């Protein structure tokens, strides 16, 4: 194993050596020229992004989180050093830097947006939205924007979609979509699909507030279609909520960015949990409560539901399933996996919807065109899913922990923080492998008497987290899984939780951060750690890579994010420190 460790002193000396001259030499006129030279992002570029750019949340419609750039590779990554850094706004920092034509766009906490020069971080413009006294506790997280033509699209904490002029930051249009006064908000970023801004609403916790995905004209903001994630009266799935009154059918937040397959013309979106958490609190009995915890495939032109797959029917434990759906074409030959469809012909190539879409930490493979179940494999300790009926597409749950009673604890693996949470997996086409940061954590969960409070649902239960059985105190786990067979390529385990998002590159590298502030580069094929850097904080942002003037950069936003330091008290950090770090070769 090769490893390079840069100490704190070396870190800051490198910072001074690399960034001081460009920053002092930068002139305002040069920075303005960058904005003036910006060229509009086209539909063709969204389908096939330039290697140098990062135009949307996970770079491509298939949510691969992969950059084809290879200047930084397994042979030289150990010399990677800081190019420049930028202090970001306070708050829940979970941003994705977007890059095009020499400009970087940072959509930060509470809809504070900055446009920077990619060479050194010099600010070109900023936009600050007026904050509202939002009912939802986590309302100000913002994970990404979307670039299209000459606009940057942002989904805001007060349930608006806005379009900003990429050269000036001025508001082009502002469309009110939801009602922030009852808790509705956006936390994931939008996607631009076929000239429409597509985004899922969050925070549907209060009376008559089922969530939805909507599509809006990119030129005007006008809504063109809306698909609710909880069926209305007369629609398929309505009866799955039993006798619950319409106004009490809550939840189903679609709070992460959807993926898209242009050839199939299908949008893939994930749906969150029902509200409140327990069926005894909701009064839903043993119904499936559709479409919570499901993958929905939507017609991109109309929003019509083409197919669905429910990963956890009638959830009792806040095991959200709205995370990234990756679209990959691969041979499907499931090997020694926990569950597989024995009716499929092994070796056939097909498009699949895959990834770890929910907190259970299970990797799923579904046929992208039909939603047919292909295979599934756990990555961490879980006691929720017992079996999967491939023919009926029915997930069978552990009855020993189903239907918990108010006040009586049940032991559930993983915890409500998840074997994985909103941090994103990534795919590497060179290895045909999915890379995922997961954590072995369980909890004792006790349902509360439900109190109906606007904008909140975390009062549904109280939890006590514990390490998973047989984990030997090793909380963090970084797993590489072959998507043809469903079998692991390699697994890295460690004490510190690994809750960072993943980036893969054409240089054979996989980047990820952990609770101990380490930003690492792994060899995609072997799992060897080739480079690591101590940051000022663990990283809640999504890493990206871009190229400018023939130089490849790797960027990561530190601060905020999910962490498991409550189970590793020896690993500490201050509750502040939002900073963008950008690295390059010497």
CB 494, CB 567: distance < 8 Å: no
By residue range, what is the domain housing residue 248? Answer: 5-584
User: Per DSSP, what are the bridge partners of residue 559?
Assistant: 539
Q: Is it true that the peptide bond before 421 is cis, omega within 30 degrees of 0?
A: no
As given in the structure block, the two tokens for residue 452 are: 């109906």
The reported pLDDT for the residue numbered 28 is 55
As a whole number of angstroms, the distance between CA 318 and CA 461 comes to 9
Structure tokens at 541: 């942002």
> Which structure tokens are listed for 56?
């949307």
Which contiguous run of DSSP H or E holds residue 25? helix 8-25
**Mind listing the pLDDT tens digit of every residue in the chain (586 residues)?**
344 444 433 443 333 333 333 333 344 566 679 999 999 999 999 999 999 999 999 999 999 999 999 999 999 999 999 999 999 998 888 999 999 999 999 999 999 999 999 999 999 999 999 988 876 655 688 999 999 999 999 999 999 999 999 999 999 999 999 999 888 999 889 999 999 999 999 988 876 678 999 999 999 999 999 999 999 999 999 999 999 999 899 999 999 999 999 999 999 999 999 999 999 999 999 999 999 999 999 999 999 999 999 999 999 999 999 999 999 999 999 999 999 999 999 999 999 999 999 999 999 999 999 999 999 999 999 999 999 999 999 999 999 999 999 999 999 999 999 999 999 999 999 999 999 999 999 999 999 987 766 555 667 889 999 999 999 999 999 999 999 999 999 999 999 999 999 999 999 999 999 999 999 999 999 999 999 999 999 999 999 999 999 999 999 999 988 999 999 999 998 777 899 999 999 9
Query: Cα–Cα–Cα angle for 536, 537, 542, nearest 5°?
Result: 115
Name the strand (E) or helix (H) holding 490: strand 488-494
Contact 268, 198 (CB under 8 A): no
Where residue 331 falls (left for φ over 0; alpha for ψ -120 to 50; beta otherwise) is beta
Cβ distance 358 to 311 under 8 Å? Answer: yes
Look at the chain and report how many structural domains it folds into: 1
**Residue 435 and residue 427 in contact, taking contact as beta carbons nearer than 8 Å:** yes
CA–CA distance, 576 with 586 (Å, rounded to integer)? 29
Q: With beta carbons less than 8 A apart as the criterion, state whether 64 and 260 touch.
A: no
Domain holding 349: CATH number? 2.140.10.10
pLDDT at 458: 61
**pLDDT at residue 134 in the model:** 74
Helix spans in 165-273 (H): none
Burial class (CB in 10 A: 0-12, 13-18, 19+), 495: middle
Q: Tell the residue number behind the tokens 């305002």, with chain if given.
A: 28
Helix (H, G, I), strand (E, B) or coil at 459: helix
Whether residue 88 has a cis bond before it, omega within 30° of 0: no
Q: Which residues pair with 426 in a beta bridge?
A: 435
């Amino acid at each position: 194993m090769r490893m390079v460790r840069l100490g704190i002193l070396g870190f800051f000396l490198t910072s001074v050596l690399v960034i001081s001259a460009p920053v002092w030499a930068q002139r305002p006129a040069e920075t303005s020229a960058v904005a003036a030279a910006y060229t509009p992002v086209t539909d063709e570029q969204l389908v096939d992004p330039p290697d140098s750019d990062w135009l949307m949340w996970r770079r491509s419609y298939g949510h691969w989180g992969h950059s084809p750039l290879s200047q930084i590779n397994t042979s030289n990554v150990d010399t990677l050093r800081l190019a420049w850094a930028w202090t970001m706004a306070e708050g829940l920092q979970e941003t994705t830097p977007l890059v095009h034509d020499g400009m970087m766009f940072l959509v930060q906490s509470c809809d504070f947006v900055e446009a920077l020069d990619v060479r050194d971080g010099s600010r070109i413009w900023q936009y600050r939205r007026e904050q509202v006294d939002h009912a939802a506790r986590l309302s100000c997280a913002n994970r990404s924007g979307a670039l299209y033509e000459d606009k940057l699209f942002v989904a805001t904490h007060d349930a608006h979609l806005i379009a900003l002029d990429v050269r000036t930051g001025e508001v082009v249009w502002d469309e009110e979509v939801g009602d922030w006064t009852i808790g509705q908000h956006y936390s994931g970023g939008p996607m631009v699909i076929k000239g429409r801004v597509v985004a899922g609403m969050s925070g549907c916790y209060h009376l008559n507030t089922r969530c939805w995905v909507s599509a809006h004209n990119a030129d005007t903001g006008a809504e063109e279609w809306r698909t609710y994630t909880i069926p209305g009266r007369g629609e398929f799935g309505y009866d799955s909520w039993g006798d619950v009154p319409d106004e009490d059918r809550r939840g189903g937040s679609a709070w992460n960015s959807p993926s898209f397959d242009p050839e199939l013309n299908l949008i893939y979106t994930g749906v969150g949990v029902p509200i409140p958490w327990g069926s005894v609190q909701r009064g839903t009995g043993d119904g499936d409560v559709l479409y919570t915890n499901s993958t929905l495939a939507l017609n991109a032109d109309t929003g019509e539901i083409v197919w669905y797959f429910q990963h956890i029917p009638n959830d009792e434990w806040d095991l959200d399933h709205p995370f990234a759906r990756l679209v990959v074409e691969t041979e499907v030959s499931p090997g020694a996996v926990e569950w597989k469809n024995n009716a499929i012909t092994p070796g056939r190539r097909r498009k699949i919807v895959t990834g770890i879409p929910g907190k259970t930490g299970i990797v799923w493979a579904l046929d992208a065109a039909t939603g047919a179940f292909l295979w599934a494999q756990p990555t961490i300790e879980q006691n929720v899913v017992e079996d999967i009926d491939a023919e009926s597409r029915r997930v069978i749950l552990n009855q020993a922990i189903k239907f918990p009673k108010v006040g009586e604890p049940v032991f559930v693996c993983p915890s409500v923080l998840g074997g994985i949470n909103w941090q994103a997996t990534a795919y590497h086409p060179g290895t045909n492998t999915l890379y995922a940061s997961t954590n072995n954590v369980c909890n004792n969960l006790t349902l509360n008497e439900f109190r109906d409070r606007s904008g909140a649902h975390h009062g549904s239960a109280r939890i006590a987290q514990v390490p998973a059985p047989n984990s030997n105190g090793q909380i963090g786990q970084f797993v590489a899984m072959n998507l043809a067979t469903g079998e692991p390529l390699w697994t890295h385990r460690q004490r510190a939780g690994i809750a960072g998002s993943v980036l893969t590159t054409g240089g054979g590298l996989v980047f990820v951060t952990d609770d101990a502030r380490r930003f690492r580069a792994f060899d995609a094929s072997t799992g060897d750690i080739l480079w690591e850097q101590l940051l000022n904080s663990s990283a809640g942002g999504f890493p990206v890579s871009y190229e400018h003037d023939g130089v490849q950069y790797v960027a990561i936003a530190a601060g905020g994010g999910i962490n498991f330091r409550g189970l590793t008290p020896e690993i500490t950090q201050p509750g502040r420190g939002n900073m963008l770090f950008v690295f390059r070769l010497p």
